[in-house]
Amino acid sequence: METETQTAINSAVDIVTARQRGRALALELGFNGADVTLIAAAISEVARNIVDHAKCGEILMSSVNGQSGGRPGIQIIARDQGPGIRDVAQAMQYGYSTRKGLGVGLPGAKWLMDEFDISSEIGRGTTITMRKWKR
Amino acid sequence: MQVPVLKQGDYLIASIQSVLSDADLIQLRDNLGARVGDYRSRGVIIDVTVLDVIDSFATRMLRGIAHMLKLRGAETVIVGIQPDVAFAMVQLGLTLEGVGTALDLEEGLAYLNTKTKRVAVDGD
C-alpha cells in the first residue's frame, strides 16, 4: 500500500484539513479509533506550530513499514522554511512557549507518537518527522 | 462554520455542529460573551460531542471562554467530550482545570441547576 498526501499549511484553516487527511489515512491503514485520534491530535499540534511560528509550510503523510517484521505505520513530516528554532531542547520542554500558548504542542505531539524527530536551523526552517506504528 | 447558540430559560446552549477552525472558536467566544449579557444568562452549555480532536488551542479557548463567562456571572459546562478525545487530551497533558464538565446535555443541565442554585443561596 503506497499512500501519500501533501497538505499546504498557510493558515489556521489548513490545520483542520491536515488533521482530517491524517485521520482518513490512519483509518485506511487500519489504526484503531483511539490511535486515530492520537495521530489527528499530533498532526494538529505540529500544523499549529507551523502557522504560529513559520506562517506557512507543508505536511506530508504516508504509510511506512517497520524494519523487522514490517509492522505498518504512519509517517508525518511537517516542514517549513520559517525562522527556525534557536533552542530545540527548550522548545521541547513541557510548558515552554514563546507566544501565548500553553507550551504543550511539540512535547505533546512527541508523547502521542512512537517516534519523533525534530531538526531546525536558524533562518532555514524546521522539519519534524514523526511515526506511529500499528499495535 | 458558525456555532448556533440557543436560549433555554436561564441558560444558553452552544451546540457545535462540525469540526471547528480557530476562527470559529474565537467567534464562539465573542458571541457567548455578548449573548450572556443580552439574555442575562446564568449558565452556558458548550456541547463538543462532534469534535474529533480537542488540541491545545481548543483547550485554551474553551478554558478562556469558561473563565470569561464566569467573570460575566455565568457558569459554563462543557459536555460530550468523547472517550478517545479525552484520552488524547490526557496524553497531551491538557486539562480543563476550573471548568465544569459533564457527560452529555442532560447531565450538563443538571450540573448548571445545582451550580446556579447554590450561587443564589450563597448570595442570600
Q: Give A41's contacts in chain B (Cβ within 8 Å).
A: 53-55, 88-89, 91-92
% pLDDT > 90, chain B: 77
Q: Give B53's contacts in chain A (Cβ within 8 Å).
A: 19, 37, 40-41, 44
Q: Give B55's contacts in chain A (Cβ within 8 Å).
A: 41, 44-45, 48
**Which residues does A67 contact at the CB level (< 8 Å), separation at least 6?**
none
Q: Give A36's contacts in chain B (Cβ within 8 Å).
A: 84
Tens of pLDDT, residue by residue over A19-59, are: 999 999 999 999 999 999 999 999 999 999 999 889 999 99
ipTM over 0.85: no
A44–B53 C-beta distance less than 8 A: yes
Interface subset of B 4-63, CB within 8 angstroms of A: 19-23, 52-57, 59-60
Tens of pLDDT, residue by residue over A54-111, are: 999 999 999 998 766 678 899 999 999 999 988 888 888 877 777 666 677 888 899 9
Pairing of strands A115-121, B5-8: unpaired
Tens of pLDDT, residue by residue over B79-102, are: 999 999 999 999 888 889 889 999
Interface subset of A 30-89, CB within 8 angstroms of B: 33-34, 36-38, 40-41, 44-45, 48
| pLDDT of the residue at B4 | 92
Contacts of A115-124 with CB under 8 Å at 24 or more apart are A118/A85, A118/A88, A118/A91, A118/A92, A119/A88, A120/A84, A120/A85, A120/A88, A121/A84, A122/A83, A122/A84, A122/A85, A122/A86, A123/A83, A123/A84, A124/A81, A124/A84
B92–A104 C-beta distance less than 8 A: yes
Question: What does pLDDT average to over chain B?
Answer: 91
B37 to B62, B72, B120: CA distances (angstroms): 19, 8, 18
Least confident of A104-108, B69-73, B112-116: A104-108
A105–B56 C-beta distance less than 8 A: yes
